[in-house]
Structure 1
Amino acid sequence: MFYLRLARGYRAPDLGRWLLTALAAGVVAAFLLRSLGRAMSDPDGGTDALARLLWCLPPLAAVGWFAAVAARAVPARRPERITGLRTAGAGSGRIRALIGGEVALACTLGSVLTLLLFLVLRNDIAGPSLAPDLGMGVPLPAAAPVTLLALVPLTAGIAAACAVPLDETLPGRRTGPRTGFGALRIALPIGLAVIGLALELIALRPGAAADGRPIHLPAGLGTTSTAALGGWAASALGLALLTGPLLSWTGRLLAAGRPTPLRLLAGRGLTAQARRLGPPLAVLTLALALVLTTIRYWIGTPGSADALPAVEACLVLGCAGAAVAARLAEVRTDRRDVTDALLRLGTPPRLLFGAIVLRTLAVGTTLLVTGGATAALAAAGLR
């Protein structure tokens, strides 16, 4: 009853976040039920059943991560809701549980709708092409779909509850955001990127193709070597972790010297928000680089495309894009007081808009460098 009353006060962004969470959970539930149907149709599948379950982990992780980012933005975007809960006697732990329960409820709705569609299609409605995916002709154990589908709301709810920091849950307890990066936070990604690049160069040397056993990649991506795969993984992780510091350095570069008001506003704003914008933008850039590399390989190798990885890639990209949008909305809400103060001081709105455009161009340039390097290293390692 509490969540029904809470839904009555939803605005369009809250309702959109709730529906997006339910839709993403429904798609992940469809992947899980497909793996169950395949396992029932081919009980002697061996490692294929495990591989199909492992294919469900990336979209499940994407939904959990989106739920965490969206839940973190709730206290900043709806402070009146947190104030009301605090007035009613709810502490920080209970507020975390309520936000996590709201996300879990949305995921449960999407999973239940997918399960109903799965049961309807099993009732001799689906054609023979979908029969192996639905496990038609085989009795469906009741505990199997319930256990699988419970993973979706459980993962998303726990991720959402843990994502809300205790010091930011209640109004008046927010701490100033940190803008710098420690030496370890910078040295670690640089070291990973250098090590990964060295391994990639070793794998690309003349005659390296005959060394060792090739690794057969999923999604019809051909083969690669252990050194190339390990080098790309290390480089991709290093570039992703380096996204935040690069954004901060770009902001400092914009404001270096004797900057104009436009450069000063854009540079200081980017430096202040680099820690918060770095992780979601890094995940989105990494996912997009992987998708573009896969599409390029599929185009160059006709007949190697696979439908399941394409659908999963769309879901992961959608979750990453939604997480970036949620983080941008959170940042905009936090900067509302600063923007109002600048307007009261007589700052032209055109100057603020120009700072946003310049900051967007700087972020896009940084992501183009990291994403382009990630995609180039991935394409070089494929055979």
Structure 2
Amino acid sequence: MLALRLTRSAHPAVQLRRLLVAAASAGTGFLLLCALGHALGHPDTPASSMLRLAWCAAPLAATVYFAIAVARTDPGTRPRPGLSAVGLGPARLMAISAATTALSCTLGSTLALLVFLHLRGDLTGMPFDGAATDFLAAGRPLPLPAALTLLALVPLSASAAVAVALRPREPVTGAARGARSYGRFGAYRRTAVRESFGAYGRFGKQSGAAARGRRTVVPAPDREGAADVLETGSETGPGPETGPETGPETGPEDVAGAPPSAAHTQPSGLPWGIAVLAVGLAVEALASRTGAGGAAGGRPAALLGLPLTAVGLALAGPGLTHLCGRLIQTVRPGALRLLAGRILMAEAARIGRPLGVVCAVMSAAYAMASLQDGQDASSGPLVTLGVLLVAGCTVATLLTAAVEARQARAGTTAALRRLGAPTATLRRAAALRAGALLALFGPLTLVVAELSAWPLAR
């Protein structure tokens, strides 16, 4: 009941995102039911029916991925101070998010069942003069347990994925993370063991930022903007020694609003993504070179490289986004380029993965377009529906991730405005980020699409 009340009282933008999840669930459920109908209408070709059912894995994965992104941006289930006192802790909020996702997906699955039954003629007369009876199994009894099992795949998968993605995690504080400090003879250490007075006097631990009276930035798990950095700086005052170095420091990194650890930590998936992408392209080229790529039975060998290239682009997305932010700041950057680059570097993990998935879907769709001449004409509408569903879910996931990133840097934007930054500067920084990402990922998508389509078109 609480999940239903939160669903009803949500913002219209949140309701729109939930309706989009329901629409994606309806499309995926309809494709699953069509695969069941083809199996009922063609019992002599089980391999073809199994291939249609396996092809529905891509829309299912895209729908689940989109549902996770929507659940992350839901403000009604976000942990806030005081909710634990009334019994709404992180675990309860995670359960509410999973229940809300299950409600949206169940609504979509119910709509898919009603549309499928209507097209079969079970509810009313046969529409479209029976033109779609090939994959509907009209005139045959529909096994209700099998249909309900297929329709339950989307709600169960989406709710389980949301529960795993939003599961409560132990906060990692600065003391637990272990700040870098200097021990004996300049060695790094991460323990809290105190040095003797002689070691302190000889090797000068007072050379650190805290001993000189500089402002220290205490890392925190929820530190996301310049407001927190400035607040930490105001709480830490100068030490007993005063001098030219004891005053407050305001650098470009603080103005950019990204934590130094988040901005300088490069995602580790770039080498793996490049390796998997190269393996996928090599598999497609090998299938084409052996002469099997153009044969009807050899095209599946070339199609094996498409999932590998998609996974490679998805893995390399955060690293490429981080690299793009670093390239913006090269060659004596100004305040605008520095701000845009630092934000890209800090949000590489949040924006890069959906962006890589969008590039993978576009390249795969371009490569699959070369196979349309040999496909059955009766499956054309279903193929179009599946492609539109996957592309729409991935693009909507990218836009939802952008909304999540905007919400995450709300404190940074407020701090910049308090410092006197004009709104036009923030808009130009956003346009610069979008243009840099388009300039990097656009040609990359075209190159991968051409290399993937070349073996399939032969």
Fold match, TM over 0.5?
Answer: yes
1:248 is aligned to 2:306: no
1:190 is aligned to 2:274: yes
Paired residues of 1:192 and 1:234 also in contact (CA < 8 A)? yes
Paired residues of 1:232 and 1:378 also in contact (CA < 8 A)? yes
Question: How many Å apart are 1:200 and its aligned residue?
Answer: 5.2
Paired residues of 1:292 and 1:375 also in contact (CA < 8 A)? yes
SS in 2 for 1:69: helix
| Root-mean-square deviation (Å) | 2.8
1:28-47 alignment runs, 5 A limit = 28-47=28-47
| Match in the other structure for 1:129 | 131
| Match in the other structure for 1:114 | 112
What whole-Å deviation, never above 9, does each CA across 1:137-178 have from its counterpart, x for those lacking one? 222233122111111110111111212152499xx9636674
- Structure 2 gap segments, 5+ residues each: 172-219, 225-258
Paired residues of 1:26 and 1:111 also in contact (CA < 8 A)? yes
Q: 2:163 aligns with which of 145, 158, 161?
A: 161
User: Is the alpha carbon distance of 1:201 and 1:56 closer, same or farther for their aligned partners in structure 2, counting shifts above 3 Å?
Assistant: closer
CA distance in 2, matches of 1:4, 1:232: 40
Q: 2:345 aligns with which of 257, 260, 271?
A: 271
1:183-332 alignment runs, 5 A limit = 185-199=269-283, 202=286, 208-210=289-291, 216=296, 224=299, 226=301, 228-229=302-303, 233-295=307-369, 298=372, 301=373, 306-332=380-406
- Structure 1 gap segments, 5+ residues each: 218-222
Paired residues of 2:6 and 2:76 also in contact (CA < 8 A)? no
CA distance in 2, matches of 1:2, 1:18: 16
Higher alpha-carbon deviation: 251-260 or 274-283: 251-260
Question: How many Å apart are 1:379 and its aligned residue?
Answer: 1.5
What whole-Å deviation, never above 9, does each CA across 1:313-358 have from its counterpart, x for those lacking one? 1000111011111111110011111111111111121111111111
Question: How many Å apart are 1:133 and its aligned residue?
Answer: 2.8
The one-letter amino acid of 1:147's match is T
The one-letter amino acid of 1:166's match is P
1:59-78 alignment runs, 5 A limit = 59-74=59-74, 77-78=75-76
Tell me: higher relative CO, structure 1 or 2? Use CA pairs within 8 A at least 6 residues apart: 1
How many residue pairs get matched?
366
User: Is the alpha carbon distance of 1:286 and 1:235 closer, same or farther for their aligned partners in structure 2, counting shifts above 3 Å?
Assistant: closer
Paired residues of 2:270 and 2:318 also in contact (CA < 8 A)? no
| Match in the other structure for 1:220 | none
| Match in the other structure for 1:181 | 266
Paired residues of 2:79 and 2:89 also in contact (CA < 8 A)? no
1:102 is aligned to 2:100: yes
CA distance in 2, matches of 1:12, 1:112: 23
Q: Which TM-score applies when normalising by structure 1? A: 0.85
CA distance in 2, matches of 1:239, 1:36: 32
What whole-Å deviation, never above 9, does each CA across 1:284-329 have from its counterpart, x for those lacking one? 111112223334664xx59877332221010001110111111111
Higher alpha-carbon deviation: 191-200 or 48-57: 191-200
Paired residues of 1:251 and 1:271 also in contact (CA < 8 A)? yes
Please identify which structure carries the higher helix content. 1
User: Is the alpha carbon distance of 1:320 and 1:80 closer, same or farther for their aligned partners in structure 2, counting shifts above 3 Å?
Assistant: closer
CA distance in 1, matches of 2:367, 2:307: 14
The one-letter amino acid of 1:281's match is L
CA distance in 1, matches of 2:77, 2:101: 18
The one-letter amino acid of 2:136's match is L
The one-letter amino acid of 1:187's match is P
